[in-house]
Every structure is written in structure tokens, then in C-alpha cells.
């Protein structure tokens, strides 16, 4: 039996290699989208032509989203708890996650490769300051991670149950979950999370997802590229 914390073959690393997102499975293709849009005509196509691409563009342009819901993706995500919390706000996804009630193997913690400064006029924004190195602070973060893990293991060794002992683990503990979402809701997720307004860490995951799904929905990617959005 394989460990859940091992990324699938088709994955992209993020956060300086400390995290990753992988494509586990998918259902449907771009032909599925146009077939769903034309289902009332009772005809099916197995490949896309220029007319189909125009229809696909029209559907996205005019927010006719139901045909896109017939394409579904399942991802495996390895990320810090604070990113998991942001991700799970997207309630159109279905989630299952590794639980520290049942296992204490493969414990990992995220230490930022670079520390950013807080924006003075926007509570939700941060920025990179080339004069702010923060190496000593990163070392303290790493020490805090290790101390939290040591306390967790001490509690377990003393017989404390895992469901209580896990309460001492910090927000930058790495977790692994599966997330399944249809294409329409995934595009909404990417619009919000690959944005200048999104936290830098979750934006890396959104960018990685774009790389993973582009070979499956190349014309969808091309639509957004034509709109001047990076894909």
C-alpha cells in the first residue's frame, strides 16, 4: 500500500518543492462540453473542429456553464493547513483528507523560502522587500515546527489520544487531501486564486493546476490566453 503523501505521477511541485498538486483522474473532454451543449439535437462528436471551438468560446463568454459541469477533475493536494483552510472555502468541491486522528506518519511542516512584509494599507496584501532577508526568523520558524512536533510526540508517548495531541501542531503543518470539482467551478476557483488579490502561496497551486489541465482542455486555456490571462 502506498503512502498518501507521495505525489501521483502527474504532479507539479510548488512552495520551493515543499508542496505539490497532482492530477489523480478526470472525466470527460472538451468534446463532452460541446456534446452536452447540443444534446437536444441528439448528436454526438468524438473530436473538436473549428465550429466546436467557437461554440466553446461562446459558452464561456456568455456564462452558459452547465455544459462545462460534465467535465470533472480529481486532484491530490499537499499543502500547509492555512492554505487548506482557504481552499475548503470553495464548497463546490468534494474533499477527503488525511486525518491525524488515525495516523502520525509522514509529519511535515512548511517553512517559507522567503518572508514577505505586510502591506501598510491593505490587510490582505503582502510584498517582497529585497532588503528584508529574515534568515534568522526562518530559522526560528523551523525551530518552532520541530518543537511542536516534539511536544506532539511527547503527548502520544504519555498516552494522550491523537485527536487531542494534534491540537499543538501549527498552522504550517502539511496536509494531504483529495479534491474533486467540475470544470465550471474549477475555472471560478482559478479566477479567484490565480489573482493579484490572492495569497501568494495558494496562487502557486492555482498556477500548477492550470499546467495540469491544459493538455485536457487546450481550447479552454486558449480562450483565456486570448483574453490576455496567463495560462
Q: Do 217 and 30 meet the contact criterion of CB atoms below 8 Å apart?
A: yes
193 is catalytic: yes
CATH assignment at residue 218 = 3.30.1360.170
Question: Is position 46 within any domain?
Answer: no
Question: Is position 65 within any domain?
Answer: no
Express each pLDDT in 100-132 by its tens digit. Answer: 766 666 789 999 989 888 877 777 778 777 888
Question: Is position 37 within any domain?
Answer: no
Express each pLDDT in 196-212 by its tens digit. Answer: 889 999 999 999 999 99
- Distance, in Å, from the CA atom of 194 to the CA atom of 65, rounded to the nearest integer, reads 20
Distances (CA, A) of 81 to 69, 85, 120, 201, 221: 28, 6, 25, 12, 29
Express each pLDDT in 177-200 by its tens digit. Answer: 999 999 999 999 999 999 988 999
- Distance, in Å, from the CA atom of 205 to the CA atom of 131, rounded to the nearest integer, reads 27
Question: Is position 196 within any domain?
Answer: yes
Question: Is position 66 within any domain?
Answer: no
- The number of folded domains in the chain is 1
Domain of 15, in residue numbers = 11-28+71-226
What's the residue count for the chain? 231
Which residues fall in the annotated binding site for dUMP? 86-89, 97-101, 166, 193
C-alpha cell at 101: 486522528
Which residues fall in the annotated binding site for FAD? 66, 89-91, 97, 188
Question: Is position 47 within any domain?
Answer: no
Exactly one of 38, 51, 117, 193 is catalytic; which is it? 193
Amino acid at each position: 500500500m502506498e503512502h498518501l503523501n507521495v505525489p501521483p505521477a502527474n504532479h507539479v511541485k510548488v512552495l520551493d518543492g515543499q508542496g505539490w498538486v497532482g492530477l489523480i483522474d478526470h472525466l470527460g473532454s472538451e468534446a463532452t462540453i460541446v456534446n452536452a451543449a447540443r444534446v437536444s439535437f441528439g448528436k454526438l462528436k468524438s473530436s473538436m473542429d473549428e465550429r466546436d471551438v467557437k461554440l466553446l468560446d461562446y459558452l464561456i463568454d456568455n456564462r452558459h456553464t452547465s455544459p462545462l459541469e460534465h467535465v470533472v477533475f480529481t486532484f491530490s493536494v499537499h499543502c500547509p493547513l492555512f492554505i487548506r483552510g482557504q481552499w475548503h472555502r470553495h464548497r463546490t468541491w468534494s474533499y477527503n483528507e488525511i486525518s491525524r486522528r488515525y495516523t502520525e506518519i509522514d509529519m511535515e511542516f512548511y517553512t517559507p523560502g522567503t518572508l514577505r512584509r505586510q502591506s501598510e494599507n491593505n490587510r490582505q496584501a503582502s510584498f517582497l522587500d529585497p532588503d528584508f532577508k529574515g534568515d534568522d526568523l526562518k530559522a526560528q520558524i523551523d525551530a518552532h515546527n520541530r518543537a511542536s512536533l516534539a511536544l506532539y510526540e511527547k503527548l502520544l508517548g504519555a498516552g494522550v489520544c491523537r485527536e487531542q495531541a494534534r491540537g499543538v501542531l501549527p498552522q504550517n503543518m502539511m496536509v494531504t487531501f483529495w479534491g474533486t470539482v467540475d470544470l465550471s467551478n474549477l475555472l471560478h476557483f482559478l479566477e479567484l486564486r490565480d489573482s493579484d488579490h490572492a495569497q501568494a502561496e495558494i496562487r502557486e497551486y492555482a498556477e500548477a493546476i492550470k499546467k495540469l489541465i491544459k493538455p485536457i482542455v487546450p481550447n479552454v486555456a486558449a480562450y483565456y490566453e486570448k483574453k490576455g490571462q496567463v495560462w
